[in-house]
């Protein structure tokens, strides 16, 4: 695997999921593979799970791992080509990415969307430039429109928890939030579920439909109760509007996932990528109750990252 930015970089999704589940059983079985190889993890935004699970994944494979919070510790980065840098930006991505490529065998990078200009975010300009300039395999740690390591871990969790012999009904439901949140997790989740052995239904209020590119082929319902009927898995997530780009259109009253809503489902397991706003996106009772998968889902982030890094190491070994 040369890069990991979306499900489209994966040749055989089911095989990668199985690999992650195998690594969960024997996490240290391939410690020699990453010996003397360096993983660099670059963050332009905050992170808890992605940072620690990817670092752990690298260490499980015997890699040396360097982490940099570039937004706080680095020089202010310029990404536009052809500009005279006489303002606040100090270093161009042309030099920064190329230099980091000298120090690392694999680089992971996180850069959220700005949620101001739809064309700009959806062009994935920063990630694409970084891949071109770094000259080493690049893993997305959440880009402007996708969060593929999260989605792989989500699919691993569903595979692990699904009842044998039944194609599960998976519902992605929008949840209330107080601020504008990226589409990445929801976009990626839809994209990965469409490649999996599940039936995906998406439910969100009007005005919150995700980009067709990500949802096409899946049912989108504006009635949450109807969508939840018979669900085996409910994935809870807020996102801002795509149509009125980056806007919060409603307080979303009545959309929080509660035990009352859970009663409409097939005793569904409830998932969330975290961080979660308790009592706003998801009720405390669900998070603290037997149907929540959020901690195991976060645990699986390590093995998802490890499966991806292993494929990359095998290629450069
Ligand atoms: C990010 C997102 O894309 O939804 C990262 C999730 C892995 N989440 C947030 O930005 C939440 C911020 C908040 O204030 O709740």
Give SS3 for 79: coil
> Per-residue pLDDT averaged across 69-73, rounded?
95
Distance 220 CA to ligand 1 centre (A): 23
> Per-residue pLDDT averaged across 234-247, rounded?
98
Share of the chain above pLDDT 70, in %: 100
Confirm or deny that 280 is annotated as ligand binding. no
| Separation CA 298–CA 53 (nearest Å) | 8
User: pLDDT value at position 139?
Assistant: 98
Q: How many Å is the maximal CA-CA distance in the chain?
A: 62
Q: Write out the two tokens for 223.
A: 């009635």
In b/e form, how buried is each residue of 207-228, taking b as 16+ CB within 10 angstroms? Answer: ebbbbeebbeebebeeebeebb
Q: Is the pLDDT of residue 235 over 90?
A: yes
Confidence of residue 250 (pLDDT cuts 50, 70, 90): very high
Determine contact, residues 101/134, Cβ cutoff 8 Å: yes
User: pLDDT value at position 131?
Assistant: 98
- The residues, any chain, with a CB within 8 Å of residue 155's CB and separated by 6 or more, are 13, 17, 192, 193, 196
Q: What is the residue extent of each domain of the chain?
A: 3-146+300-316, 150-297
| Separation CA 44–CA 11 (nearest Å) | 29
User: pLDDT value at position 103?
Assistant: 98
Distance 110 CA to ligand 1 centre (A): 12
pLDDT in tens, 133-150: 999 999 999 999 999 999
Supply the mean pLDDT for the chain.
98
Among left, alpha and beta (phi > 0; psi -120 to 50; other), residue 235 is: beta
User: pLDDT value at position 143?
Assistant: 98
User: pLDDT value at position 317?
Assistant: 78
Q: Is the pLDDT of residue 41 over 90?
A: yes
- The residues, any chain, with a CB within 8 Å of residue 93's CB and separated by 6 or more, are 77, 78, 79, 126, 129, 130, 133
Q: Please report the beta strands in the chain, taking only residues with DSSP state E, as ranges in sequence order.
A: 3-4, 38-43, 64-69, 77-78, 91-92, 106-110, 138-140, 169-174, 199-203, 219-221, 233-237, 269-271
Q: Write out the two tokens for 169.
A: 């009904």
Nearest C-alpha to atom 14 of ligand 1 is from which residue? 179
Q: Is the pLDDT of residue 93 over 90?
A: yes
| Separation CA 236–CA 253 (nearest Å) | 15
> Per-residue pLDDT averaged across 104-110, rounded?
98
Residue matched to tokens 């494929």: 311
Residue matched to tokens 């807020």: 238
**Whether residue 182 has its Cβ less than 6 Å from ligand 1:** yes
Confirm or deny that 155 is annotated as ligand binding. no
User: pLDDT value at position 32?
Assistant: 98
The verdict on domain 150-297 having CATH code 3.40.50.1370 is: yes
Cα distances (angstroms) measured from residue 236 to each of 14, 67, 265, 268: 23, 29, 14, 12
- The residues, any chain, with a CB within 8 Å of residue 186's CB and separated by 6 or more, are 172, 174, 202, 210, 214, 237, 239
User: pLDDT value at position 79?
Assistant: 95
User: pLDDT value at position 121?
Assistant: 98
Distance 181 CA to ligand 1 centre (A): 6
| Separation CA 249–CA 125 (nearest Å) | 27
pLDDT in tens, 115-124: 999 999 999 9
Distance 123 CA to ligand 1 centre (A): 20
User: pLDDT value at position 262?
Assistant: 98
Among left, alpha and beta (phi > 0; psi -120 to 50; other), residue 254 is: left
pLDDT in tens, 174-209: 999 999 999 999 999 999 999 999 999 999 999 999
The closest-lying atom of ligand 1 relative to the alpha carbon of residue 276 is 15
| Separation CA 285–CA 257 (nearest Å) | 10
> Per-residue pLDDT averaged across 153-162, rounded?
98
Confirm or deny that 311 is annotated as ligand binding. no
Confirm or deny that 27 is annotated as ligand binding. no
- The residues, any chain, with a CB within 8 Å of residue 138's CB and separated by 6 or more, are 3, 4, 5, 106, 107, 108, 109, 127, 130, 131
| Separation CA 256–CA 264 (nearest Å) | 14
Confirm or deny that 264 is annotated as ligand binding. no
The closest-lying atom of ligand 1 relative to the alpha carbon of residue 49 is 7
User: pLDDT value at position 119?
Assistant: 98
Fold of 3-146+300-316: Rossmann fold (3.40.50)
- The residues, any chain, with a CB within 8 Å of residue 118's CB and separated by 6 or more, are 242, 245, 246
């Amino acid at each position: 695997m040369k890069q990991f930015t979306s499900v489209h970089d994966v040749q055989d999704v089911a095989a990668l999921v199985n690999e992650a589940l195998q690594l969960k059983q024997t996490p240290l079985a391939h410690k020699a593979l990453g010996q003397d190889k360096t993983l660099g993890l670059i963050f332009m935004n905050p992170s808890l799970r992605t940072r620690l699970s990817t670092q752990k994944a690298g260490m499980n494979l015997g890699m040396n791992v360097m982490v940099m919070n570039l937004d706080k510790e680095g020089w202010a980065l310029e990404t536009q080509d052809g500009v005279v840098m006489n303002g606040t930006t100090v270093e161009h991505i042309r030099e920064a990415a190329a230099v980091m490529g000298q120090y690392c065998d694999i680089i992971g990078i996180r850069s959220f969307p700005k949620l101001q200009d739809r064309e700009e975010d959806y062009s994935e300009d920063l990630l694409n430039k970084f891949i071109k300039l770094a000259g080493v395999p690049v893993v997305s740690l959440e880009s402007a429109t996708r969060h593929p390591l999260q989605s792989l871990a989500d699919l691993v969790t569903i595979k692990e928890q699904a009842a044998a012999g039944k194609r599960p009904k998976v519902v992605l439901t929008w949840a209330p939030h107080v601020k504008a949140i990226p589409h990445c997790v929801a976009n990626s989740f839809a994209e990965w579920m469409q490649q999996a052995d599940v039936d995906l239904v998406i439910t969100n209020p009007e005005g919150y439909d995700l980009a067709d590119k990500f949802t096409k082929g899946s049912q989108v319902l504006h009635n949450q109760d109807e969508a939840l009927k018979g669900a085996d898995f409910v994935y809870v997530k807020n996102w801002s509007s795509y149509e009125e780009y980056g806007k919060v259109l409603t307080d979303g009253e009545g959309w929080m996932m509660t035990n009352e809503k859970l009663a409409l489902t097939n005793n569904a397991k409830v998932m969330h990528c975290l961080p979660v706003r308790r009592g706003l996106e998801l009720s405390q009772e669900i998070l603290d109750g037997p149907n929540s998968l959020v901690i195991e889902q976060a645990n699986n982030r390590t093995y998802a990252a490890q499966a991806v890094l292993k494929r990359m190491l095998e290629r450069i070994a």
